[in-house]
Amino acid sequence: MSFIKFLVAGLLVTFASLAPAQAAEKVTLAAAADLKFAMDEIAVAFREAHPGDEVEVVYGSSGKFHTQIQQGAPFDIFFSADVGFAHELKAAGQAITEPKLYAIGRIVLWSATRDASKMTLADLADPTIQKIAIANPQHAPYGKRAEEALRAVGLWDTLQSKLVFGENIAQTAQYAQSGAADIGIIALSLAVNQELASKGGYALIPADKHSPLEQAYVVTKHGEGNALASAFAAYMETADARHIMTRYGFVLPNETAAK
């Protein structure tokens, strides 16, 4: 009965892998989707500085992580795209540190099917643009700012029928990248990534058209006592990490202005 043997072998392997991993420390980060490329690089740099330790990064919408951490999700640090979510977690007793500002995000117009580099929000009324991708304003901070910017130029109502909503800012970028949406309002940090930069230019949306995308992180209750979590938080302040963030178009907060 080779099948039974196979089954038993499979079960043994499964049990063996359940045994606790040895020694090395591990930190799990929940990061807003706009950090996708920047945080990947920072994690690589951090691993080089901490050989043997493990860093795991999960990307998604800040609203989703906020909900999941409230329900006890096993993330050690939460990098929110909106300081508001970080404050709420702190207030709910789910964070053990004060929200720490780590970057100011920017939104841009980006398209894979046309040159967006000279475009402005007003050009979105162009009838040849049929689908505009934005992140879901209900729970994605970048979507909220896109809505604010469109409202600021008085186009929110007229463009309603053209809007499609990504679950987070990375999916929104992917809607535009696949050409399924004619244009997207996405994070600058994603538009400058090689994948997207090689396909099309971007146009910055003036920062005065929306409230600032103040991004903050907190160490969660789950990360309490995890030395590697504190080490990673400290690493965000290093020149290396800050250099990577700047390269992805993030404006770094003035240390004194941080709260």
Contact 193, 249 (CB under 8 A): no
Q: State the number of CA atoms in the 13 A half-sphere of 102 facing the CB.
A: 33
Is 148 one of the binding residues for another protein (CB under 8 A)?
no
The piece of 7-15, 33-41, 103-111, 161-169 that touches another protein (CB under 8 A) is 161-169
β partners of residue 78: 30, 218
Which of 25, 51, 54, 57 is CA-nearest to residue 38?
Answer: 57
Is 120 one of the binding residues for another protein (CB under 8 A)?
no
CA dist., res. 94 & res. 80, Å (int): 14
Q: Which of 130, 158, 211, 246 binds another protein (CB under 8 A)?
A: 130
Is 63 one of the binding residues for another protein (CB under 8 A)?
yes
- 36/139 with CB nearer another protein: 139
Contact track, another protein, 85-114, x by CB under 8 A: ----------------------------x-
Q: How many residues bind another protein (CB under 8 A)?
A: 24
Contact 217, 80 (CB under 8 A): yes
The label of the residue with tokens 């330790």 reads: 53
**Residue 91, class by beta-carbon neighbours within 10 Å (0-12 exposed, 13-18 middle, 19+ buried)?**
exposed
Q: Which of 101, 124, 163, 205 binds another protein (CB under 8 A)?
A: 163
Q: Which of 32, 69, 146, 181 binds another protein (CB under 8 A)?
A: 181
Is 175 one of the binding residues for another protein (CB under 8 A)?
yes
The piece of 75-83, 178-186, 227-235, 242-250 that touches another protein (CB under 8 A) is 178-186
For the chain, the distance separating the N- and C-terminal CA atoms, rounded to the nearest angstrom, is 66
Structure tokens at 231: 């080490």
Structure tokens at 29: 């980060």
Q: Which residues bind another protein (CB under 8 A)?
A: 61, 63-64, 66-67, 70, 113, 130-131, 133, 136, 138-139, 163-167, 171, 175, 178-181
